[in-house]
Structure 1
Amino acid sequence: MRTAFTELVGVEHPLAGFNRTPAVVVEVSRAGGLGVLGATMYTPEELDAQLTWIEEQLGGRPYGVDLLVPARTTQRDVGELVADLRRQIPEGHRRFVEGLLAKYSIPPVSEDDALDRLGRIDASLETNMDAAVVSELLDVTFSHRIALVANALGTPPAAMLERAKAQGVPIAALVGKREHAEKQLAAGVDLIVAQGTEAGGHTGNVATMVLTPEVVEIAGDVPVLAAGGIASGPQLAAALALGAAGGWAGSVWLSSHEDAASRVIKEKLLAASSSDTIVSPTRTGKSARQLRSAWLDEWQAEGAPSPLPMPLQSMLVREAWERIDVTAEKGSEPARELESFFVGQVVGSFRELRPTAEIVRDIVEGCEARLREIGRLVEPVRS
């Protein structure tokens, strides 16, 4: 299949696979899609190491990077900034989280017990606003042979756009509303990812079926990828039928062997239905779809405080999630009840863990088969 997206980034299939695990990125690209590394939680040194490893595995095949580059950064000492933000967290919120952890018998985590979790962040990066760190991340990203760079939230700042265009790297942006797409197009992005509410992680409230054609209508020559609900061949075919140049898939890779999610999380995902997700700001301070669990139920209970805005909420609960993850991995049933992860409504289609390459193949072959079936629905015009 050839589309404006496959031509833009030089891949065989109109499918982008977003994941925070480098091994998943490699396998998606090897299978003919575009693996995209979710790199929002890496230090510059970690990002350089991961991109170097990815390139060693791919031998020239294209891949992409997804960063979180804020429109505004600060020259202020980041340690002082983080300390100031922490002082803004109400004591009542701290007591609520500690009470919740005590209720479920979640102990503090010692250094010996700490998991080597992908995405662990240093306190100095909690705000992702340090101008020096953001500049270093961009330096690292553009020093590698990337085929695409995406900004995870908001319009890419002018400096990021200029640098991408100067180096001939297409730049993508995720949108959840038509108005967001209008801003991104005005800024000059090369690819729009129209993410419907079905998607995992930070998401809006417009469905993919509605959002995709709205964005395609105004995008002109700029390719659009549909995101949210893309986990099978028929779903990718639907995206193409809506006018998209391909699909952007994220949640489906959680059902792969290569994804770095813990055993406990994967077991819960495999047991879940499509109705077992909820959009909540309780993890980051911004609405995000995730697997429903006791954690989310506790925040919705009578007397629970309202979640704080980003980044205060994520600063409030970061250590709590570290403790939950570690304790759940040790076999604690109460911790398992709390355990959750960002995932879209396609979680209901997970049946077993499979190799990433097999998932790509099934999506692509299923899409091609469905497109042929659709083509046969149109009777030839008789003269």
Structure 2
Amino acid sequence: MNSAICDLLDIEFPLIAFSHCRDVVVEVSKAGGFGVLGAARYNASTLEKELSWIDEHIDGKPYGVDLIAPTSMAGTEPIQPTKKIKKQVPQEYFDFASGILERHDIDSTDVYVTDFDSNSFLTQDGAASIIDVAFGHPIKLIANALGVPPPYMIDLGKEKGVLTAALIGTREHAIKQVEAGVNIVVASGTEAGGHCGDVSTLVLIPEVCSVLKDSGVPVLAAGGIVTGGQMAACMAMGAAGVWTGSVWLTCAESDTPPVLKEKMLQASSRETVRSRSRTGKHSRQLRSPWTDAWESNAAPKPLAMPLQSQVTENPLAKVTKLAEIGHEGARQLSTSWVGQGVGLMSSTQSAKAIVYEFMQDYLVASERLRASLTE
């Protein structure tokens, strides 16, 4: 396919699939797209195992890694032990989260016995160790999900011939990324799952493509994109391809818990919420009584990253485990990051089938546009 992204990444079709599941990464790359492993939940040793597995199963096809190395965080300079970070959280936050669980018949007494370790990727040293692991494998792309990539990442990319990408949500951020030296800009609209801005994909893509038109840096469109028709629309606005995430959460290979898969497949596009309550930065999640509680007037104001995660991650981990063994209160509370495109995700398919469906939908949409120009 004639696309700058296809040329840069040596792929057949400019469909980028972000997933925390290694199986999805492999299957998408083997089908002609480009799989990107989300490394935010891995420490260095775990990431090493995941990437080694991918290397063994991907048949030499190209793939990438996405991590989080935010440029501004509270309570992490210099690096602090998790217990010290946790002590900065007022008790009312733990009490509020525990109260949500108790109201849904979930015992909260053991929720905070174990500390949530955010140091694996939210510190300079932690991010550097993960970056080193990633560059020890034949990756074609490394992306930073929050802010400008650290110079260490960009410099290593240049040295090893690995492309650097970064996700942005505004035109101004796109300019900063290009000035920092990134090779690909991922313009992510507010419809996206996970961390996102407040500008819609339909507005953001042409805005970013316009401001970067003379830079030589290609733009990937992201945010609510789950069909080939949407992909064609974004490329008609100037994008060189698309970066997708939510659509892979319900595919057959995904490790998304069954209860959450079911909730996503039944959800409408209105059943997500953009909130700071999960990590301290705005992120889009599947709406549930858990998110409703944090959006209520009774909720304390979300703390900065990484403090808020100390409050939310342990309770949500327990919710997920209990939901999978049939606890009704936990099933109701269960939530996950997902974009507004969830309303178009109505069935479970293999990752390969989704790639091929994207291709077919793209062709149909392209023919529709072409037909509109003929008499």
| 1:255 aligned counterpart, secondary structure | coil
Q: 1:27-46 counterparts in 2 under 5 A?
A: 27-46=27-46
Displacement after TM superposition at 1:76 (Å): 4.4
Is residue 351 from structure 1 mapped to residue 346 from structure 2 by the alignment? yes
| Distance in 2 of aligned mates of 1:287 and 1:9 | 30
Q: 1:36-115 counterparts in 2 under 5 A?
A: 36-71=36-71, 76=78, 78-79=80-81, 82-107=82-107
Unaligned runs of 5+ in 1: 112-120
- Match for 1:375: what amino acid? R
Q: 1:291-310 counterparts in 2 under 5 A?
A: 291-310=286-305
Q: 1:157-176 counterparts in 2 under 5 A?
A: 157-176=150-169
The answer (yes or no) to whether the contact 1:107–1:323 under 8 Å persists in 2 is: no
Match of 2:275 in 1: 280
| Distance in 1 of aligned mates of 2:144 and 2:174 | 13
- Against the structure 1 CA distance between its residues 154 and 367, is the aligned structure 2 distance closer, same or farther, given a 3 Å change threshold? same
- After superposition, what is the alpha-carbon deviation per residue over 1:145-165, rounded to whole angstroms, capped at 9, x for unaligned? 001100010001111111101
Match of 1:185 in 2: 178
- Against the structure 1 CA distance between its residues 122 and 100, is the aligned structure 2 distance closer, same or farther, given a 3 Å change threshold? closer
Give TM-score, length-normalised by structure 2.
0.94
Displacement after TM superposition at 1:375 (Å): 1.3
Displacement after TM superposition at 1:133 (Å): 2.7
- After superposition, what is the alpha-carbon deviation per residue over 1:175-207, rounded to whole angstroms, capped at 9, x for unaligned? 000000010010111000000011111111101
The answer (yes or no) to whether the contact 2:251–2:348 under 8 Å persists in 1 is: yes
**Quick one: which of 198, 207, 222 aligns to 1:205?**
198
- After superposition, what is the alpha-carbon deviation per residue over 1:78-100, rounded to whole angstroms, capped at 9, x for unaligned? 42xx2222111111111111111
- Match for 2:363: what amino acid? E
**Quick one: which of 247, 268, 274 aligns to 1:252?**
247
| Distance in 2 of aligned mates of 1:44 and 1:344 | 28
| Distance in 2 of aligned mates of 1:75 and 1:344 | 32
| Distance in 2 of aligned mates of 1:321 and 1:339 | 7
Is residue 324 from structure 1 mapped to residue 302 from structure 2 by the alignment? no
- Match for 1:59: what amino acid? D
Aligned residues: 369
- Against the structure 1 CA distance between its residues 359 and 109, is the aligned structure 2 distance closer, same or farther, given a 3 Å change threshold? farther
- After superposition, what is the alpha-carbon deviation per residue over 1:217-269, rounded to whole angstroms, capped at 9, x for unaligned? 12231110100121111101001101000011110001201111111101111
- Against the structure 1 CA distance between its residues 332 and 65, is the aligned structure 2 distance closer, same or farther, given a 3 Å change threshold? same
Match of 1:339 in 2: 334
The answer (yes or no) to whether the contact 1:107–1:327 under 8 Å persists in 2 is: no
Match of 1:364 in 2: 359
Is residue 144 from structure 1 mapped to residue 137 from structure 2 by the alignment? yes
- Match for 2:26: what amino acid? V
- Against the structure 1 CA distance between its residues 185 and 27, is the aligned structure 2 distance closer, same or farther, given a 3 Å change threshold? same
**Quick one: which of 364, 368, 373 aligns to 1:373?**
368
- Against the structure 1 CA distance between its residues 33 and 122, is the aligned structure 2 distance closer, same or farther, given a 3 Å change threshold? farther
- Match for 1:225: what amino acid? L
| Distance in 1 of aligned mates of 2:72 and 2:299 | 32
- Against the structure 1 CA distance between its residues 89 and 100, is the aligned structure 2 distance closer, same or farther, given a 3 Å change threshold? same
**Quick one: which of 225, 231, 235 aligns to 2:226?**
231
Identity of aligned residues (%): 43
| 1:174 aligned counterpart, secondary structure | strand
Match of 1:128 in 2: 121
Is residue 289 from structure 1 mapped to residue 284 from structure 2 by the alignment? yes
- Against the structure 1 CA distance between its residues 64 and 77, is the aligned structure 2 distance closer, same or farther, given a 3 Å change threshold? closer
The answer (yes or no) to whether the contact 2:276–2:283 under 8 Å persists in 1 is: yes
Alignment RMSD, CA only? 1.9
Displacement after TM superposition at 1:132 (Å): 3.4
- Against the structure 1 CA distance between its residues 192 and 335, is the aligned structure 2 distance closer, same or farther, given a 3 Å change threshold? same
| Distance in 1 of aligned mates of 2:22 and 2:70 | 23
Match of 1:115 in 2: none
- Match for 1:308: what amino acid? L
Match of 1:2 in 2: 2
Displacement after TM superposition at 1:317 (Å): 1.3
The answer (yes or no) to whether the contact 2:17–2:245 under 8 Å persists in 1 is: yes
| Distance in 1 of aligned mates of 2:70 and 2:308 | 17
- After superposition, what is the alpha-carbon deviation per residue over 1:35-80, rounded to whole angstroms, capped at 9, x for unaligned? 000001111111111111111111210001001123479684542x
- Match for 1:198: what amino acid? E
The answer (yes or no) to whether the contact 1:285–1:308 under 8 Å persists in 2 is: yes
The answer (yes or no) to whether the contact 2:231–2:241 under 8 Å persists in 1 is: yes
The answer (yes or no) to whether the contact 2:83–2:115 under 8 Å persists in 1 is: no
